[in-house]
Every structure is written in C-alpha cells, then in structure tokens.
Amino acid sequence: MILVVLDHDGNRLRKGSLEALTRARALAEALGTQVAGVLLSEGQAPVEEARGHVATLFVAELGPYTPEKWAAGVLAAAKDGVKAIVAPSSRQSRTYLGRVAYALKAGLLEDTLESWAEGGMVYATRYAYLNRVTQKVRAALPVVLTVKPNTTPLAQPLGSMGEVVPLSVPQVATVEVLERVQEEKKGVSLTEANVVVTGGRGLGSAEAFKEVEELAALLGGAVGATRAVVDAGWRPYAEQVGQTGKTVQPALYIALGVSGAVQHLAGMNKSKYIVAVNKDPDAPIFKHADYGIVGDVHQVLPALIQTVKKLKD
C-alpha cells in the first residue's frame, strides 16, 4: 500500500494533497500496489472530497494538531504495512513525518521535485544548497516522501467513492496546546498563488504595502515580504519568502525594492518569470530577473497598477 497523507483546511483538500496523490499513484503503479489516504483532523474534514480520490480512506479526529498525535495517526493507518507514505511538504509535515520515518525505520525523502520507483528503491530529486543544485537521492522501501509544492500535476478524482475506515489512534504523550492565535487570512495563499508580489526594504514603510496589496489583488496574487520587512514589523512573518520563510514557485514573481540576497533567492528563484524593480542597477536581483526595471519603486509601482488596470478594462 502507498499511504497518502491528505492535508486540508477543514473544508477542502489542499492543492498539495492533490500533488501528493499524483505522486502516490505513480509509485503505486510502479510498485504494483494500491493507494490509500489518511485524513486527520481536529474537527471538520473534507471526507467526501477525499473519498473521491482513494479506494480506502482512513479518518481520525484527533483534536488540536500536535506532532505526536499526527505521527500516531499516520502510523495507525500504516500499521498493516506500507511501501511508501507520501505527503505534501509543509512546515507541519516537517514536525511529524520524521517521527513516522523513525518509527518505521524508513528513509525520509523531503521536499522532492520528482520521484520514481526502480529496482525496489524509491528515487527522488530535490534542491540543495539554497536551491543552487539539484540532487538525486534514493532510499530502500519503505520510504516517507514529501512533495514540494507546485512541482506535480494535480490528481483528478477517480470517479468512484472509496471506503471510509475510522482509525483507532492510540493515546500518546504529547504537548498540550493551551492557546492558539489564528492568523487573519486575506486573499490567496502565498505558497499556492500563481502570482506573488513581494515588497522589500526599498518600499520604505509599512504604508507603502497598500500599493503592493493593490497590485497583488489586481493580478489575483498574494503579497510576499523579505525578512528585512518582516523584521521591521511592516508585514507578518507568514508573508516572508526565503530560506527562513516560505518557498514559492509562482508563474510570476514581482520583486519591488528587494536587493536579492541569497537567503531571499532561496525561496523564489524557481519562479517561472521574475520581474524586479530596483533603483540600483547593480542590485543582485537583476541577475535572476527575466525583466528588470531600474527606477524608484514609488514611481514604478503606481505606473504598474495603472497599466494593469487599463489592461483589465
């Protein structure tokens, strides 16, 4: 069995789950086995949608997320033996899948770009050294594999509804969540957006981000920020792109007043088209940009907004 961990927001499967399903189906075909899904939740879960993608769906309601409980849930679903566990790569997956891999004595292939089975092994590629090189890695079965967002076509429903199997998850020693503050969510999710408009320190103030938001909204995209901006308190950490922030791979990445430090590039240099606006013609970002505008962002950004508005009219 190949077990897919299906991430969701309570109402819908996340896009990453559909990518993980595609990878799982390919591995299952190569290894001559079936795909099952596991849907863990702290309340509501998109059971009907998930059933449409797998023949067997293990479900468990576990209360607020903790790595220990989620690891126990995945292990309960895997107890009859698995060849691979496939999950979307996320901050959360990093906190519990290591435990799962350790318990199964399985190799852990994280953040993979591609994966395939060959000669009883699972191979994968992934970026290393701040995304500057791609490495090929392999592990013997069983493996735990995570799928980097935006690398894989989305799976389509099977056209039949899978069987739902309630999981019995053993109680585990775990941290107790005493309080959680839910971040306010506006617009499209940064990691799933097709267009990301990122502001850097060159914008000069938190107020200047109003125009960044406006351009992002016009393009149906999300707002990103550099660490300098987050450290200054202009934008929340959830919007930070880079080595210690989020990794994005949109079709269009617009960098406004961003110098292009290696730690920032690590989170966005795989974007399809990069457009940079910077007043310094020698800014490192221009080495990575497909289109560059040398100019003051306070003049260029309003002009971009006007142009997009006109094009949309």
Which chain residues interact with ligand FAD by CB under 6 A?
A: 200-202, 226-229, 240-245, 257-259, 261, 263-264, 267, 277-280, 283, 296-298
Q: Which is nearer to ligand FAD, 138 or 298 (CB)?
A: 298
Q: How far is the CB of 217 from ligand FAD (least distance, A)?
A: 21
Measuring CA to CA, which residue among 244, 252, 234, 231 is closest to residue 188?
Answer: 252
Query: Are the C-beta atoms of 8 and 39 separated by less than 8 Å?
Result: yes
Residue pair 140/155 in contact by the 8 Å Cβ criterion: no
Q: Which residues pair with 265 in a beta bridge?
A: none
In the complex, minimum distance from the CB of residue 241 to ligand FAD, in angstroms, rounded to a whole number: 6
Q: How far is the CB of 201 from ligand FAD (least distance, A)?
A: 3
Shortest Å distance, C-beta 230 to ligand FAD: 8
**Six token digits for residue 288:** 């990575």
Nearer to ligand FAD, 9 or 280 (CB): 280
Distance (Å, whole) CA 97 – CA 95: 6
Decide whether 23 or 264 has the Cβ nearer to ligand FAD. Answer: 264
**71 or 208: CB nearest ligand FAD:** 208
Q: How far is the CB of 87 from ligand FAD (least distance, A)?
A: 23
Nearest distance from C-beta of residue 312 to ligand FAD, angstroms: 25
Number of C-beta neighbours around residue 147 at 10 A: 31
Report, in Å, the least distance between residue 158 CB and ligand FAD.
39
Residue ranges of alpha helices (H) inside 65-120 are: 67-77, 91-104
Please tell me the distance from the alpha carbon of residue 13 to that of residue 45, in angstroms, as a whole number.
9
CB of 169 to ligand FAD, least distance (A): 35
CA–CA distances in Å: residue 53 to residues 22, 23, 50, 156, 252: 10, 13, 5, 7, 30
Helix H or strand E segment including 312: helix 297-312
Residue 35 near residue 116 (C-beta atoms within 8 A):
no
Which residue, 37 or 202, is less far from ligand FAD as judged by CB? 202
Q: In the numeric block, which tokens belong to residue 196?
A: 């990301």
Least Å distance between CB 286 and ligand FAD?
A: 10
**Around 24, how many Cα atoms within 13 Å sit in the side-chain half-sphere?**
32
Closest CA to 212 of 109, 73, 308, 312: 308
Tell me the C-alpha distance between 250 and 260, whole Å.
17
Q: How far apart are alpha carbons 67 and 89 in whole angstroms?
A: 14
Nearest residue to ligand FAD by CB is 242
8 Å CB contact between 110 and 26:
no
Q: CB nearer to ligand FAD: give 176 or 282.
A: 282
175 token code pair: 């941290």
User: Closer to ligand FAD at the Cβ: 83 or 235?
Assistant: 235
Cβ nearer to ligand FAD, comparing 201 with 288: 201
Q: Which is nearer to ligand FAD, 98 or 295 (CB)?
A: 295
